[in-house]
Amino acid sequence: MWTRFRWWIGVCVLIPLLAVLRAPGASAALALGGGAGIIVDGHYCTLTTIGHDKTGQLVGFTAAHCGGPDAPVVAEGSEDVGPLGTVVAANGDLDYAVIKFEAAKVTPIANFAGFVINGLGPNPERGQPECKLGAATGDFCSHNSTFPGPGPTMTMSGLFQPGDDGGPATADNLLVGMIRDGWIISGWPGMADMPKTHLTKFSAILDDVNTTGGPGAGFTPVPA
């Protein structure tokens, strides 16, 4: 009799526990940080960074040509989870998009796959060491190859592949740029070709979102 009673107690405890574990809200939030592969409206791209804007909303950035306002955003490799956020603003000239994430579905991190974003940095000088992380080509470090100027874009040495779009570029672990595209400069006879990655200065992106005052304004990345 006592054995059967203990069995019944175990069943009574196990059934509600399984119900909780199988409940939709019980799934763990996905960790996302700058350099994570994302799919925006069906286009494979890379998350630039993630943090909070002045309203406290959890937001991130990527390239605008990945998808415009209302485009759903899912994590690469976790497509079955469904959308984690939505593009809520975009600027085609600077080629950036602002993503509003659902805080219950995402855990923002500053160190994604060993690539650290420990804040926002000033525009790098020509020749200054830089690193980038794209979902297609991975982590690569070289140097800034931009001649001094006031424009909103810059370049760094390194290969670009589709899927890197939106990825972060850092100097001294501080975010300085967003990958937008790239090209290859043919070398002189007997010399290797020189791949280049084209970036939007993140300072230009911040200036624009702060001027418009919309989603992303007052952005601060999550601390490392």
* pLDDT reported for residue 122: 96
Mean pLDDT, the chain, whole residue set: 88
pLDDT above 60: residue 115: yes
* pLDDT reported for residue 19: 38
Q: What is the pTM of this model?
A: 0.85
Where does residue 81 rank: exposed (0-12), middle (13-18), buried (19+ CB within 10 A)? middle
Average pLDDT over residues 71-86: 96
Q: What is the dihedral of CA 203, 46, 90, 174, to 10 degrees?
A: -10
* pLDDT reported for residue 150: 83
CA separation for the pair 118, 130 (Å, rounded): 14
Question: Could you tell me how many residues make up the chain?
Answer: 224
Instruction: Confirm whether 33-111+209-221 and 115-203 share one CATH topology.
Output: yes
For residue 139, which amino acid is it?
D
CATH number for the domain whose boundaries are 115-203: 2.40.10.10
Give the start-to-end residue ranges of the domains of the chain: 33-111+209-221, 115-203
* pLDDT reported for residue 133: 98
* pLDDT reported for residue 191: 65
* pLDDT reported for residue 28: 80
CA separation for the pair 93, 2 (Å, rounded): 75
* pLDDT reported for residue 185: 73
* pLDDT reported for residue 224: 83
pLDDT above 80: residue 39: yes
CATH class of the domain defined by 33-111+209-221: mainly beta
Question: Which of 26 and 98 is assigned the larger pLDDT?
Answer: 98
- pLDDT > 90: what percent of the chain? 78
